[in-house]
Amino acid sequence: MKDTLLLRMRQTGWFDVWLFALAIAIVTLVIGAAGVIQYNVQMGNMPAHFNEYQINEALGSLAHARQSFLLIGRIALLVSAVGFTILAITESLAPKVSRKNKDRLKMVGVGIQYLAAGAVTLVMLFPIYWMVISSLKTSTELLLPVPTLWPHQFQWSNFPNVLERAPFVRYLFNTLVSTFFIMVGEVVIGVFAAYGFSKGQFKGRDFLFMLVLGALMVPIQVTFVPIYVMISRMGWVNSFPGLIVPNLVSAYFIFMLRQAFMSVDDSYLDAGRVDGLGRIGTIVHVLAPMNAPTLITISIITFINGWNSYFWPKMVATKDEYRTIAVGVVRLRRTFSGMETANYNEIMAGAVMAIIPIVLLFLILQKYIMTGMSKAAMK
């Protein structure tokens, strides 16, 4: 194949990056253009007696955001154009550059990649950093017109104040109990269901699995009304069964486990049957150990989802005796009613207390998450 400039450009990792930036530019510019058209059409049909506020309320969402989309599109287009230009120049000069200079250019490219990765990491971690330092500020400093990136005076008393204003220990206990049983339920039911869908032989197996996959497309906001009515009639409002039972099954985790179990050759199961293992014994002693990373991944994700769950606990738990940590942080805002200023610093302190277990869990077990995800996606 002829070694053309375009081919050399496509063989570099930067080509896909700038192509992605170009795709973002095209999409955002098209959306921005649609917003401009919507703005012009709506302004042409706007009643003459409307004031500025009424005009602003009458405009559509695209018309409101047209300038933002156009700005993002122009920036992405400029970045893409500059990137492609630099890439073309460097690749066109590459055949004329000595091996020593090529190694230097490669090191520069790697350095740029590290800088870009570091910049993206800082952008993603900045909200967490801001939450932590806000939890250590005074209320006056937090409400300053010009925000400070470091507390002038560390306010460690925010954390004990939170424990006094709301039963955070109770919230933590409720969250641990509900999350633990949800995790156990999703793992156990998911394992048995995945075994049936991957190794079972019965009529309608694939059709039933398609129904399970269809459940992935139904959000909880669609089903929470009938589920809430059922829970209410059973008398499970403000109770642990109401928090736990509706979340005991996850279609996504059944799918993950099914894909992992399908990667195990049937000869291992036959060997287990020869040794006298039944279905449960095969699952426990053969499939589960061979898919331990996936099981650990599911357990971790289930724990994180249960810990951060807000929508359903807010609906089914209306008393402090059964509220979880996510709902409890929001409830902190109501404890400051009647004060001169809202103590957002203490709200941030409550949020920090809520995320500490999840952050520690993720930092310790992140390698299992990556391993389990990649293994489930192999089949």
Q: pLDDT tens digits for 184-224? A: 999 999 999 988 888 888 888 888 888 888 888 887 778 88
Q: Which is more confident, 50 or 119?
A: 119
- 323 in Cβ contact with 317 (< 8 Å): yes
Residue 372 pLDDT exceeds 80: no
Return d(Cα 310, Cα 304) in angstroms, integer: 12
pLDDT value for 328: 83
What CATH number has the domain spanning 161-376? 1.10.3720.10
Domains of the chain, residue spans: 5-96, 161-376
Give the DSSP letter of residue 287.
I
Q: Which of 16, 18, 17, 13 is nearest to 82 (CA)?
A: 18
Q: pLDDT by residue (tens digit) across 86-117?
A: 878 777 766 665 556 666 767 776 787 788 78
From residue 240, alpha-carbon distances to 124, 301, 324, 334 in Å are: 35, 20, 11, 24
Flag the least confident range among 87-101, 309-323, 358-372: 87-101
What is the percent of the chain with per-residue pLDDT over 70, rounded to a whole number? Answer: 89
pLDDT value for 2: 44
- 240 in Cβ contact with 178 (< 8 Å): yes
- 141 in Cβ contact with 148 (< 8 Å): yes
The pair phi, psi for residue 16, each rounded to 5°, is: -65, -35
The residue behind tokens 């002038």 is 152
CA 228 from chain center: how many Å? 25
Residue 257 pLDDT exceeds 90: no
Count of beta carbons in the 10 Å neighbourhood of residue 335: 17
Count of beta carbons in the 10 Å neighbourhood of residue 199: 17
Residue 245 pLDDT exceeds 70: yes
Question: Whole-number mean pLDDT of the chain?
Answer: 82
2: left (phi over 0), alpha (psi -120 to 50) or beta: beta
CA 295 from chain center: how many Å? 19
Residue 297 pLDDT exceeds 90: no
Q: Binning pLDDT at 50, 70 and 90, where does residue 304 land?
A: confident
Residue 3 pLDDT exceeds 60: no
- 79 in Cβ contact with 86 (< 8 Å): no
Judge if pTM exceeds 0.95.
Answer: no
The residue behind tokens 């209320």 is 139
What is the percent of the chain with per-residue pLDDT over 90, rounded to a whole number? Answer: 8
- 257 in Cβ contact with 190 (< 8 Å): yes
Residue 367 pLDDT exceeds 50: yes
